[in-house]
A and B are shown apart, each in its own frame.
Chain A
Amino acid sequence: MKRIVIVDDSRTSRMFIRRCFEIIRMNETDFHEAADGAEALALLKRIIDVDLLVTDLNMPNMDGEMLLKTVKEDQALTGLPVVVITSAGNPAKEAELLALGALAVLNKPVSPATMNNKLGALIQD
């Protein structure tokens, strides 16, 4: 996996998620970051060959749910795997997000082990 976009209004959270990816030996991956959904969409239009979009839910300007919907409705982006990493991911919300097309929903604080277990087949490709 070569290129991942991490979207979260918290720099702390973006750092944490990136650190988890690096721990599971993805330190050769190219990481890009955005602070909200609108910024993420602008980034996705500029960068080619993004392999994975990781997004928080609760963000200003455009939240993660709207970002997910927008990506899945965009012909150019609909095939992009989207993983939601959120503090607000109970089973009901997880079901909603999966129905919208999310690949997986992980709860904060995420750990390298959880990331590897849930995303292993995808990220080690």
Chain B
Amino acid sequence: MSERVDRIATTAVVESLENMAFMEVLAATEESRQSVAEETMSVKQQVLAPVQGEFHLLMPRPLVGMIAETIFTMAMAEVSEQQLEDVATELLNTIAGKFLNDFLPTDETYKLGLPVIETTGTAGHDQQVKTWHFNMAEQPVTLIISKNLLEPDSVEDDK
């Protein structure tokens, strides 16, 4: 199950970010996992059904700015805080949806909450999470998912 979850999580992040930002996303090296972005934007999105859990996406603010530049075709200096936050929340919304579409059985619907910017910086501090690290434009991208969302009984093994 773990390999399947890793594959689905990786695909969700890579395909979502590459298709939206037109930048390559790579699995993080051990060295890059240790790097800490000076200013990190953190987004949270709750899963409301069929089980309750959370997705978190952490990205350096400059990286979100680069993506916003591409999407809005404007210079980073012109990108507003609201646009930055909107880009970050939409990225997680897309990743979370793609993950659940591929992870859950095809005959099971699900309900996501609205993605929100986190200000308290507690993402990932709970030990009951699984974390994936990536690199995009040489900057770290981290996806965190509640472990209870990944329980075996919500999985279709042959998918």
Residues on A lying within 8 angstroms of B by beta carbon are 9-13, 15-16, 58-60, 86-93, 96, 107-109, 111
Contact = CB atoms under 8 A, between A and B. Distances in A.
Given A16-B20, A90-B108, A107-B98, 13 more contacts: A10-B89, A12-B68, A12-B71, A12-B83, A15-B71, A16-B71, A58-B112, A58-B113, A88-B101, A90-B100, A91-B107, A107-B97, A108-B16
Contact of A10 (B93, B96, B97, B110): B93
Nearest to B106: A91
A88 B106 contact: no
A88 B19 contact: no
Contacts of A89: 97, 101
A38 to B, nearest CB: 15
Given A108-B94, A109-B94, A12 B100 contact: no
B106 A10 contact: no
Interface in B83-114: 83, 86-87, 89-90, 93-94, 96-98, 100-101, 104, 106-114
Contacts of B15: 109
A92 B106 contact: yes
A13 B90 contact: yes
A107 B90 CA distance: 13
B72 to A, nearest CB: 6
A90 B16 contact: no
Given A12-B71, A15-B72, A108 B97 contact: yes
Interface string B1-45: 000000000000001100110000000000000000000000000
Contacts of A107: 97-98, 101
Given A86-B97, A93-B109, A109 B20 contact: yes
8 contacts: A15-B72, A87-B94, A89-B101, A107-B98, A108-B93, A109-B19, A109-B94, A111-B19
